[in-house]
Amino acid sequence: MTIAGSPKKLVQDIANAFFTLSPPMLRQYDAGDLRTLLTNIALVGREIRGEQIPLDDVMALKAKNLKLSRLNQAEMVVRAYGKKHRLPL
């Protein structure tokens, strides 16, 4: 099954904690869809890392780091699922 809507928007929702990935949810996607997710996770991660935030704005720094943490966790879930099911990612 293909990803409904924009994969980049899905990854942005993951970064903003509106959506989470879990292995049972990944069951509906094939290897190509998972590769697309990983590509978009890397793309959104680069965009978030590129944001310039003043060092005195602690809450904005914390929010940025939380987004990066959520993306890293999502990437690990996708890669672990692919490895477990022997999908070429």
Q: DSSP letters of 14-55?
A: HHTTS----HHHHTT--HHHHHHHHHHHHHHHHHHHT----T
* Model confidence, pTM: 0.92
pLDDT band at 5 (very low <50, low <70, confident <90, very high): confident
Q: Kindly list the domain boundaries of the chain, sorted by start residue.
A: 7-84
pLDDT tens per residue across span 17-76: 999 999 999 999 999 999 999 999 999 999 999 999 999 999 999 999 999 999 999 999
Rg (CA), the chain: 14
Number of alpha helices (DSSP H) and beta strands (DSSP E) in the chain: 4, 0
In this prediction, residue 46 carries a pLDDT of 98
Return the closest-CA partner of residue 68 out of 88, 87, 41, 86. Answer: 41
